[in-house]
Amino acid sequence: MEERDFSEIVEEKKELLDQSFRDSVATISKQGKRNYIFPKKPKGKLYNLRTLTSIIYLVVFFTLPF
C-alpha cells in the first residue's frame, strides 16, 4: 500500500463529500429555462423478445375466455 500525504487524503475526502449538486435543480438551466430530459428508447434482442412475449400473453388471455 502506498504512502499518501495527509493533505491528499483531505482533498480526496472533500471531493467525495462535495454536495454542491444539491444547490440547484437539474432540470432548470442557469438562465432559468427548463432542461428537457428525454428517456432513451430501449433496443436489443431482449427488449424485442419481451415485447413479443407480452403481445402473445395478451392475445392468449383475451381469447381464452371465448
pLDDT value of residue 2: 57
Over the stretch 1-42, which tens digit does the pLDDT of each residue have?
Answer: 456 677 888 777 777 666 677 777 888 888 889 989 899 999
* Cβ-proximal residues to 29 (8 Å cutoff; 6+ apart), any chain: 35
Element (DSSP H or E) covering residue 13: helix 6-16
**Residue that wins the pLDDT comparison between 47 and 14:** 47
pLDDT value of residue 1: 46
For the chain, the distance separating the N- and C-terminal CA atoms, rounded to the nearest angstrom, is 71
Cα–Cα distance between 27 and 15 in angstroms, integer? 23
